[in-house]
């Protein structure tokens, strides 16, 4: 009795071609073109057909379990771990944790399928492609660095809301610096930039938004008098250009990095029980290196555009809040309602009307510079202003205290008074 074979549509097509080959109505080259395979593959199928007939064209793996089948209990263990620790994780991040932390051998697609089946994760609908013009990455590492501050609940409910300063290289997508601060500020960016410059050097340019830290946005904004902010002045001294983007999409690399950080970094901080700025900043270098290992790409050019810091570039003075002022005749200058009196070995008239720079760092320490050299000073305290003396007449006028008439006042001579004594009068309504 002939064996009954079950064949797919593709296998039936191959059987028909093999029969035409057997009848010499086709060549092997023509058969390869009909089936869309190589001539070598046609020869292999022809040998199998000659040896086993139609059975040789049937896949030998039919009815056998897949090699990628998960081992018994792996699915349940993965599901239990996901429900316990990674319920709000995405499939990609959950797969990484299951592999690296729990040593579970399963694919990312398997994790995705498990999470969808259990309703833990819902696949996102594909977004419509943006209409913004694409811009190629810069060719060199350090040629353009995108910077931004991301205000977010980084510690969830375990700590205060704060901002993360993010520095992303445009050519490679590397995280060059991460730094937690209470909020975006001039001194916060100075501290993050110091760490970045001391580790990697100075980039050619920063690409930022139009935050008031990077540009003067209105005429009423107090800057340095030339349309430049304090951070812009510091970068100018370091020969680092600041370019302000016209839209968030223009600096899309740092915006996309912020989305990833708000997903991954929040969960990493949770897993490690970190809930304050100091502990988070201490962990950031480890997270930064792991992020770059996973997501960074190779630049088109091997040239590193970073430049080393010069010996003349004193970051302690450059990263200060600076204000110019003029010394008075008594060698004093005022800043933030505090009067500083310069102490100099020169004759007093030599520094009168001199232009000086008052530099204040994040700790409130003040340095006064004259021709880039510090001057000694003392803080001049104004004497307390004495209160105005108020005479008795002014007090009486303000209090409006009526004075009794004099004993010989004419008003006392008649009517209700006689001899300075009041007369008894009956009521007009008294009974007769």
Strand partners, 147: 167
Measured between alpha carbons, how far is 76 from 82 in angstroms, rounded to an integer? 10
CATH topology of domain 145-295: Nucleotidyltransferase; domain 5 (3.30.420)
CB atoms closer than 10 angstroms to residue 301: 13
Query: What are the residue boundaries of the structural domains of the chain, listed by start?
Result: 11-57, 74-117, 145-295, 315-380
Query: What share of residues in the chain are helix, strand, coil (percent, to 5)?
Result: 35, 15, 45
Residues of the chain with pLDDT under 70: 1-4, 61, 63, 65-68, 70, 72, 126-132, 218-227, 346-349, 381-402, 411-432
Measured between alpha carbons, how far is 185 from 231 in angstroms, rounded to an integer? 10
Residue 426 confidence (pLDDT): 46
Q: And the tokens for 323? A: 């204000």
Which residue's structure tokens are 């028909």? 16
Residue 129 confidence (pLDDT): 63
Residue 414 confidence (pLDDT): 59
Measured between alpha carbons, how far is 306 from 195 in angstroms, rounded to an integer? 14
Measured between alpha carbons, how far is 432 from 429 in angstroms, rounded to an integer? 9
Measured between alpha carbons, how far is 115 from 122 in angstroms, rounded to an integer? 8
Strand partners, 356: 325
Residue 385 confidence (pLDDT): 66
pTM assigned to the model: 0.67
Residue 354 confidence (pLDDT): 87
95-141: per-residue pLDDT in tens? 999 999 998 888 899 899 899 988 888 887 766 666 667 788 999 99
Residue 275 confidence (pLDDT): 93
Residue 72 confidence (pLDDT): 67
206, 242 in Cβ contact below 8 A?
yes
Residue 352 confidence (pLDDT): 83
Measured between alpha carbons, how far is 355 from 353 in angstroms, rounded to an integer? 7
Q: And the tokens for 289? A: 């290196």
Residue 1 confidence (pLDDT): 45
């Amino acid at each position: 009795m002939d064996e009954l074979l079950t064949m797919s549509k593709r296998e039936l097509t191959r059987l028909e071609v093999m029969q035409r080959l057997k009848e010499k109505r086709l060549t092997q080259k023509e058969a390869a073109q009909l089936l869309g395979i190589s001539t070598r593959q046609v020869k292999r199928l022809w040998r199998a057909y000659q040896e086993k007939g139609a059975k040789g064209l049937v896949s030998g793996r039919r009815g056998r379990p897949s090699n990628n089948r998960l081992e018994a209990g792996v699915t349940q263990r993965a599901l239990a771990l996901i429900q316990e620790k990674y319920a709000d994780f995405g499939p990609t991040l959950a797969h990484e944790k299951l592999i690296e932390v729990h040593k579970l051998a399963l694919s990312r697609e398997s994790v995705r399928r498990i999470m969808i089946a259990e309703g833990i994760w819902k696949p996102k609908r594909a977004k419509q492609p943006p209409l913004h013009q694409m811009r190629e990455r810069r060719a060199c590492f350090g040629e353009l660095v995108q910077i931004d501050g991301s205000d977010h609940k980084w510690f969830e409910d375990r700590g205060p809301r704060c901002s993360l300063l993010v520095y992303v290289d445009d050519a490679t997508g590397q995280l060059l610096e991460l730094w937690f601060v209470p909020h975006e500020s001039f001194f916060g960016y100075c501290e993050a930039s110091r760490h970045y410059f001391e580790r990697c050097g100075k980039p050619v340019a920063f690409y930022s938004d139009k935050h008031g830290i990077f540009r003067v946005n209105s005429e009423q904004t107090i800057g340095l008098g030339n349309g430049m902010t304090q951070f812009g002045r510091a970068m100018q001294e370091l020969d680092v250009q600041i370019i302000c983007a016209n839209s968030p999409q223009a600096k899309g690399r740092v915006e996309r990095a912020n989305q990833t950080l708000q997903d991954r970094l929040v969960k990493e901080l949770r897993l490690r029980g970190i809930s304050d700025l100091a502990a988070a900043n201490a962990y950031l270098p480890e997270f930064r290196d792991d992020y770059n290992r996973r997501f960074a790409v190779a630049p088109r050019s091997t040239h590193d555009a970073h430049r080393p810091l010069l010996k003349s570039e004193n970051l302690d003075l450059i990263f200060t809040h600076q204000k110019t002022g003029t010394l008075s005749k008594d060698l004093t200058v005022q800043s933030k309602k505090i009067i500083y009196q310069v102490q100099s070995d020169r004759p007093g008239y030599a520094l009168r009307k001199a232009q000086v720079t008052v530099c204040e760092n994040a700790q409130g320490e003040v340095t006064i510079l004259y021709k880039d050299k510090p001057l000694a000073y003392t803080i001049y305290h104004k004497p307390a202003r004495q209160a105005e003396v108020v005479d008795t007449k002014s007090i009486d006028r303000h209090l409006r205290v009526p004075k009794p008439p004099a004993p010989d006042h004419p008003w006392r001579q008649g009517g209700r008074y006689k001899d300075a004594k009041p007369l008894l009068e009956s009521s007009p309504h008294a009974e007769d």
